[in-house]
Amino acid sequence: MNENSSNSHNSNKAVISLTTGLEDPEKVTVAFLVAVGAAEEGRPTLMFLTKEAVRLAVDGIMQGVACEGCPSLPDLAKRFDAAGGRLLVCSICFDAKRLDHGALVSNAEIGGTIPMWRWIGDGCATTFSY
d(CA 58, CA 127): 23
What is the band of 11 on the pLDDT scale with cuts at 50, 70, 90?
low
Would the pLDDT of 14 be above 80?
yes
d(CA 17, CA 45): 11
Would the pLDDT of 113 be above 50?
yes
Residue 15 has what pLDDT?
98
